Chain A
Amino acid sequence: MGNLGEVHQLILSLAGWKMVFNLDSIVMSWIVIAVLLTFGTLAVRKRDVIPHRLQVVGELIVGSLYQLTEDAMDKEKAEKYGPLVVALFLFLTLSNWLGIIPHLDEPTKDLNTPLALGIMGFVIAHFVGIRSKGWKAYLGEYFQPFIIMMPLNIIGELAKIVSISFRLFGNIMGGAIIILVVSHLTFSVVLPPFLNAFFGLFVGTIQAFVFTMLTIVYISVQTN
């Protein structure tokens, strides 16, 4: 159990700044991206009115996620943010599933990945908010209901990044720890496949969905 929390890191010094790269997360993210790109290319190749199998799967995923986006925003905005939502959901789902393959790790087990995606969603939401409401109305919201509430409102907004990214990180990390410890205690007999199915496939999918939906909600709250 000693390898818990062990990470392969590449540390570069550049003009006095130390840059740390978590190699595991980078490689695993690129595996996920490669699988998604392959799937996407194969699904849209030889498109037809009578779809082939992969096209059906692709249309099903994209269609239902666009529908989800449309439920939260109006149709025009859903067209715009649909691709973001689909990409986010597919990337997270596949990332969370990756751990069930031996020797591969979930990139989401590294806090940096969820944090980066959380900050991305936050920046997009606030950019959209400023664009649709204008600076004045946007800044005015922070002084509601009283002017002295401003610091707390700002902390409340920033806490959204923390909550969205730690939720994903905690679940995936917790699942990985439970699988590791229980496998160790039972000498890897019988239990590990079920635990992998539960924490990897089931909880992984739910958490990817929750993350995606919260991002949609953050964007739609800013636009309305």
Chain B
Amino acid sequence: MDSASLTSLAANFGAGIAIGLGAIGAAIGEGHTAAQASPAISRNPQMAGEVFKTMLVGQAIAESASIFALVVALVLLFTNLPVSSYLTACAFLGASLSMGFGAIGSGVGSGFPAGATCHGLVRQPAMANKLTTNMLIGSAVCQTPSIFSLVIAFILMFGDYSAAAPAPLWAALIGAGVSTGLSAIGAGLGGGLVAQSCCEGIARQPRAAGALTNSMLLGQAITQTTAIYGLLIGFILLFKHHPETNSIAAAMALLSAGICMGIGGIGPGIGEGFTAQGAVKWIARNSEGIGEITRSMLVGMAVAESTGIYSMVIALVLIFVV
């Protein structure tokens, strides 16, 4: 098969993968939000209009990760991208894996704060504005991992590979996509958990709203750390010069560096999300203890992250030593 037809094959296949995987998360998140709206309305039917509006806004934000995946799929299908060699086909595959996996976590995650906001509205109608603002901030930060995936996907799609030797770069291109995409799952989900408990907390303890939003942002930022390691490994795989070799072992080392960092990044993201969720929740219950709770949260997250650092070390060894 010549490289032009192989590339269009990869573009069609990749478009399907990107939006197929990318549709999973947002749908789950939106369903969760809608499910939370029903009990909220049932508790206080007078607030139905307000809850309905918030539900729709929350769902719209949860959908943005899927829209990124849709954009990648459309670009793959309808844009005439430069074709250099069969490396372009691998780059398309990597791009679609990156965006497809990367949209899952953020989609599910940003459904959580929207659901909690629906409950919060009927519990504390006076805080409606604060709650909606907090939901918007929390959901926007949840999208960060999927934005990382989008960056890698676009760099992969618009890259020029005409001067490069095919082996082992093909493995690096797919590995970069897998690393960024998979590691974004945990971070997106975890960030959503943190934002959820923050929205609950503001409804429970309106006076602590400012402190809660700050703690939420801190928790979400640290939850994203492993997704950033995934992005870093992706960048190294893309921009490091890989010496030409036909050995399949060298190519496999690059591919498995991506897989290692990608899968290794999922767990710490979710785990750190739990840690920060608990911290934010209990700061809302007792805002006097904010200093101690934050300190123990930071230490707990650092420990939960250590397995992500192990994965990064192994990925770096695979890239630079093996």
Contact = CB atoms under 8 A, between A and B. Distances in A.
Interface in B176-195: none
B214 A71 contact: yes
Interface stretch (A16-24, A125-133, A208-216): A208-216
B225 A174 contact: no
B158 A209 contact: no
10 contacts: A4-B158, A71-B214, A152-B310, A156-B306, A163-B224, A167-B221, A173-B151, A206-B141, A213-B217, A221-B298
Given A170-B144, A170-B147, A170-B151, A213 B214 contact: yes
A122 to B, nearest CB: 15
B164 interface: no
Interface of A: 1, 4-5, 68, 71, 152, 155-156, 159, 162-163, 166-167, 170-171, 173-175, 177-178, 181-182, 185, 198, 202-203, 206, 209-210, 213-214, 217, 221, 224
A4 B154 contact: yes
B40 interface: no
B144 A171 contact: yes
Contacts of B220: 210
Interface in B265-322: 290, 295, 298, 302, 305-306, 309-310, 312-313
A152 B313 contact: yes
A203 B232 contact: no
A210 B217 contact: yes
B140 A206 contact: yes
A178 B64 CA distance: 11
B262 to A, nearest CB: 16
Nearest to B211: A71
Interface residues of B, number: 39
A181 B228 contact: no
B20 to A, nearest CB: 20
Contacts of B151: 170, 173-174, 177
Contact of B225 (A152, A163, A206, A213): A163
B231 A170 contact: yes
Contacts of A156: 302, 305-306, 309
Contact of B313 (A155, A181, A202, A214): A155
A221 B211 CA distance: 18
A107 B136 CA distance: 25
Contacts of B218: 210, 213-214, 217
Contacts of A174: 147-148, 150-151
Given A4-B154, A177-B154, A214 B147 contact: no
B68 interface: yes
A137 B228 CA distance: 30
B225 A159 contact: yes
B309 A171 contact: no
A213 B222 CA distance: 11
Interface in B208-233: 211, 214, 217-218, 220-222, 224-225, 228-229, 231-232
A149 to B, nearest CB: 9
